[in-house]
Chain A
Amino acid sequence: MTIRKTLALLLYILFLLVPIYWLLNMSFKSNTEILGGLTLWPQEFTLANYQVIFTDPSWYEGYLNSLYYVCLNTLISLLVALPAAYAFSRYRFLGDKHLFFWLLTNRMAPPAVFLLPFFQLYSSIGLFDTHIAVALAHCLFNVPLAVWILEGFMSGVPKEIDETAYIDGYSFPKFFVKIFIPLIGSGIGVTAFFCFMFSWVELLLARTLTSVDAKPIVAVMTRTVSASGIDWGVLAAAGVLTILPGMLVIWFVRNHVAKGFALGRV
């Protein structure tokens, strides 16, 4: 029984990894080798594709832009979601359930609907082609998610802790920062992971709201695909590099992820 389970799991992991291996494999080949025929591993191992990316500013600035707005978005989402999640987990107030549902519907609204109005909204307030515009736009789907996950974590913290702290003379802000936030540390980690992930993988809004100064890497890539034939090697190398930041983040939160879901409202 256990052998069968392990075998099934291994098969699935193989299924996940083979396409990624193929991308990695291609990123180390020259274009002539890629188009010349099928080889299971690079015959002439080359780092030229990566060199193109690290020396051309339009490529590496794409990465920096993406990282910049993703971090900004994660930070904003966490800052506004923390107090709100506390309110939802501890108090009942006028319209709380409807507000919560309304927040979730924004998570579900298809970005395709919002593209043009978003473009005009951010142009009209002079934020078009800035990092903060993309960060704010991504809040639309990240803030509701952050509130949702954090609320689950906070409900798991006994209420007596709050009451004891208030009796001991803590004010609300002091209690929140000194006592409460350390208690839900892993929750914040998991939430940050999810915000990072959804902001990092999003293409449509990021591409619509930027043109030159804040152009994200995903948009740089689409441009390369459509113009002047396809440079498969560089494309593959760029793809490999987009996977790395995510892997770094999952490495940091790997022990919290499972716990995070289990504790939550979910």
Chain B
Amino acid sequence: MSEELAFLAATALAIVRALPITLVLSLSSAIGASMLAAVLVAAQQTRIGRPLAHVWIFVFRGTPLLLQMFMVYYGVAALGPIRHGVLWPLFRDPLFCAWLALTCCCSAYIAEVLRAALAAVPTGQIEAAKACGMGRGTRVRRVIMPQMLRLALPAYGNELVMLIKSTSLASTITVVDVTGVAQLVIAHSYRTIEVFCLAAAVYLALTAGLTALLRRIERGLAQ
């Protein structure tokens, strides 16, 4: 019994030590994907940008993230200009490759969330704003954006929760995150259930914290 407890404690410690990697990866790709999604939605409003954004979303939403990770880590890295070019120090790092794949993939989903929210802003209000003589910038800042953000928030939060869980795929390209540590411990101890449960508890705590934060923001915006 005490041996079991000692094993659980050691495993929990190892998993918590890997938490910064999961956090850094989640946070950096959430920021990267959100910024990229905003660019994509902005591009969709222009004649030249629309097909480009369309192709981007089509490709990254339509292919599995696991495949995208492998493509970045093993595929792109094998290309001569990358392998022998100035970008190699970045692509050499598995964490960067995981970040890049997550950012590209999630940007496609978040762009769709933002696009839907933009479409849900009543056209009458935009026309009214025009009639009041508001310029384009003022219109976006004072009428479109506040409503769009409020409309997008629940679905956007959903995407962030998905993103946190998706970071576990980084363990397939040698990133030693929470899932990676769990798999290492299992391979060395042949114990499965308790280790996966501990890892699952960490993700549960992360997503629960994020959900609570989002709910608070949602409530704040509703007032």
A and B: bona fide binding partners: no
Residues of A within 8 A of B (CB): none
Residues of B within 8 A of A (CB): none
